[in-house]
Structure formats: structure tokens, C-alpha cells
Amino acid sequence: MLERLQKIISAAGITSRRASEAMILNGQVTVNGVVVTELGSKADPSKDTITVDGKPLKINAQRLYILLNKPPGYITALKDSQGRPLVTDLLKDVPDRVYPVGRLDYNTEGLLLLTNDGEWANRLMHPRHEIEKEYHVRVRGKVIDQQLKRMAEGVELDDGKTAPAVVNLVKSGEQNDWISVAIHEGRNRQVRRMCEAVSLSVVRLKRIRYGSLMLGTLRAGQFRYLSESEVRELAGEPDKPVSAAHPKREVHQKSPRPERSGGKVSGRRKQ
């Protein structure tokens, strides 16, 4: 069946659909030996020979969906020019290549999804689905109600005002407070910048929830495969059949390298 090239490349788990379009425009893709540079071009992956950067495209029959507890000090990318550790370094036991769904900053930790299902990843990242992500943030000093209120109502950043968020005080300490921030946008370093906008200094940032998925008890560097029901529910398609490999909630551990030192307000509640 004929499909758009960028969709085929994305579905193969090479990269996102947007990045696939850039690869086509850059002349990195061939179909049956002919370089294709038009985005409307189509091919049949079952019949045509498609190459990306000179390598034959492999269509993954086995779909992988992974939840990783990312430690700080890892790059959420498939390569890094500075030679820093990659999140995929923690997935040596995974049988096929996967790539991150969105990003977590180098020093941000917590729940990160990885997959080789490009369509699923694109659905999760598309702004129209407004999938909520929740973060726990340790800030230096004490938090006041006005700071929480401003973050919840939206703050002005250099790329525009943020959408309403759900912000709570989670825990109050002698020198540091913990707050919870739930957002559905996906701007670069958004939670850190929101905190900076209300004069809060972030000491530690951890994502604990992505839509209906919770980080749970996974330790830093551990990962598990999502079940078929989790895959469907997260994409908002509870009735759609999914051919997910490794559906059991098995936990896999790879010890990370030692860490370097270095809309509405629900109220100031503790938990």
C-alpha cells in the first residue's frame, strides 16, 4: 500500500515525522535507487527499496513501548557531539532501536517514554491532544502562595504566556520546598523557566507522570515495557488493537553512572 515517505520513515522508528521531512528535503532518502526530495512522494514499504542515508529501511514488525526512569546527567537524544551519556545507553537489553518521545533536560530526571512506533510518538507529542505531564520540583528557600498562583494562571516567557497549570505545594522543609507542577504544553525547559519567572530557583526537577502513566517505584536507570492497555490508553485509543512486544510489566535495571553534584491552584497542601 502506498504511503507518504515521511510516514514510512517515522513508523520505522528512525526519527520523528518532522525530522523525516527534513531528511527527504536534504536528499537523504532514496526509493528504488532514486533520490526523492518532494514531501508528497509515496512508496510501498512492502515492495519498494527505501534507503535513509544509504542504509536500507527496516520496517519494525515488533513495536516497543518503554517507560524509563531517566537519571540526571543523560542526554535525551540518539547521539551527542560532546560525547555525553545517552538515555539509550541504559537500554542495552532492548532488542531493537528506540528513540525518546519528547525530551527531558540533561539534569532533569524521571519518567521518559521511548518507542520505535513513530505514529504513536507523534500522537503523544501533538499539541492538540494536550497530554498532561506532572513534575515534582525542589526549589531553594520557601514558596509563597502568590508564586504558586502566578504559575497556575500562566506566566510570561520569552516565547509567550504559558497556559494555565495545576500547581501545589507538596512538601515544606527547613531550607527547601517541593512543589508539583502539571502542564500540557511541551516548550523547551518550560517548568524551569516558569519557576525562574516567579523568582524560584530549581534545585531538582523530576517528571513523575505522563498522562495516565505514573513513574511508580522504578529506580533511577530502571525501565519497563508498557502493557497493551497502557499504550492504547495513553494515545487515547482504548479500543484499538496494539501489537506491543513484551507486554508484561517486567523491570530491567542498568546501573547509571554516579550523579554529579551539582490553571488552578489547589492550595498549599502536603502529602
User: pLDDT of 146-165, one tens digit each?
Assistant: 999 999 999 999 999 999 99
Is the pLDDT assigned to residue 128 strictly greater than 90?
A: no
Domains held by the chain: number: 2
Share of the chain above pLDDT 90, in %: 62
Structure-block grid coordinates of residue 62: 515488533
Catalytic residues: 105
- Distance separating alpha carbons of residues 254 and 88, to the nearest angstrom: 11
- Of 251, 263, 241, the C-alpha closest to 218 is 251
Domain extent at residue 188: 60-271
Same domain, 113 and 229: yes
Confidence of residue 225 (pLDDT cuts 50, 70, 90): very high
Amino acid letter for position 77? A
pTM: 0.75
Same domain, 267 and 134: yes
Q: How confident is the model over 32-46, as a mean pLDDT?
A: 91
With residue 209 as reference, give the H or E element that holds it.
strand 202-210
Same domain, 51 and 125: no
Sign, CA torsion 229/76/211/125: negative
Same domain, 184 and 267: yes
Q: How confident is the model over 70-88, as a mean pLDDT?
A: 94
Domain of 143, CATH number, reads 3.30.2350.10
- Distance separating alpha carbons of residues 257 and 139, to the nearest angstrom: 25
How does DSSP assign 65-82, residue by residue? EEEEEEPTT-BSSS--TT
Same domain, 34 and 91: no
Same domain, 46 and 103: no
CA Rg value for the chain: 20
Same domain, 118 and 252: yes
Same domain, 152 and 245: yes
**154 contacts: CB under 8 Å, gap ≥ 6:** 161, 162, 163, 164, 165, 263
Structure-block grid coordinates of residue 121: 510518538
Domain of 33, CATH number, reads 3.10.290.10
Same domain, 25 and 46: yes
Residue entry with cell 523525516: 20
